Amino acid sequence: MNIEKIYKDANAYLEGHFKLSSGYHSQFYLQSAKVLEDPKTAKILAGALAKQIINSGIHIDAICSPALGGIISGYALAEQLGVRFIFAERVNNKMTIRRGFEVKKNENFLICEDIITTGGSALEAANEIEKNGAKVVAYAALANRGFCTRQKSNIQRQDNCKLPLNKPLFALEDFIFDIYEPSNCPLCKEGKSKAYKPGSKNN
Ligand code: ZN
């Protein structure tokens, strides 16, 4: 499966000057929402991801995604694995589980994102799950931005990966783009554009 082609065909592989959720700037942005607007594509991608998880033998009881980005991929994956799905959301900037979603003691949770960059939001969601007495046994995303190491890839983990070393990350592809600290961003230095966050304002 050619994930890059799927993103490009859906006009979801954007070039410009972007501000990522992690705070870094980048010339490229993967707009997964554009890929997932076709439920058939969502099903195919989630099916491929589910296959990796089933083959690993890791038992999953439920999936939790950090809102908003991870919700569609997490839900599609839960459908493929036949497990329930909940999401965590930010309230006053703190990741929280609301809406009466239950996290039961000793349940095995998988945290699902659309894209894992440094894994910061995924880790915050995982901490909320574990605070409630359940176990986070794995992470998953459609694609990995190359800072963390996914299963079946030998890309080296970078220092800014926030995911725990002892939990597997399942993803369909690695996308390695340069990311920059805002203070050290060549696109900012060029002065022709301001970084923006896709999904915010009119984007
Ligand atoms: Zn910049």
Taking the centre of ligand 1 as the mean of its atom positions, its distance from the CA of residue 198, in whole angstroms, is 14
Q: How many CA atoms lie within 13 A of 130 on its CB side?
A: 12
Q: Which two tokens stand for residue 184?
A: 């050290």
Domains and CATH numbers, the chain: 41-175 (3.40.50.2020)
Low-confidence ranges of the chain (pLDDT < 70): 200-203
Taking the centre of ligand 1 as the mean of its atom positions, its distance from the CA of residue 17, in whole angstroms, is 6
DSSP three-state, residue 17: strand
pLDDT at 186: 97
pLDDT at 8: 96
pLDDT at 200: 66
Ordered DSSP codes for 107-148: -EEEEEEEEESS-HHHHHHHHHHHHTT-EEEEEEEEEE-SSS
Taking the centre of ligand 1 as the mean of its atom positions, its distance from the CA of residue 132, in whole angstroms, is 38
pLDDT at 177: 86
DSSP three-state, residue 13: strand
201 φ/ψ sector (left φ>0, alpha ψ -120 to 50, else beta): left
pLDDT at 203: 56
Burial 162-173 (b: 16+ CB within 10 A, else e): bbeeebbbbbbb
Handedness of CA 169, 19, 128, 85 (dihedral sign): negative
The model's pLDDT over 54-96, given as tens digits with 9 standing for 90+, comes to 999 999 999 999 998 899 999 999 999 999 999 999 999 999 9
Q: Structure pTM?
A: 0.91
Taking the centre of ligand 1 as the mean of its atom positions, its distance from the CA of residue 121, in whole angstroms, is 21
The model's pLDDT over 107-119, given as tens digits with 9 standing for 90+, comes to 999 999 999 989 9
CA 55 to chain centre: 21
Taking the centre of ligand 1 as the mean of its atom positions, its distance from the CA of residue 183, in whole angstroms, is 8
Taking the centre of ligand 1 as the mean of its atom positions, its distance from the CA of residue 7, in whole angstroms, is 23
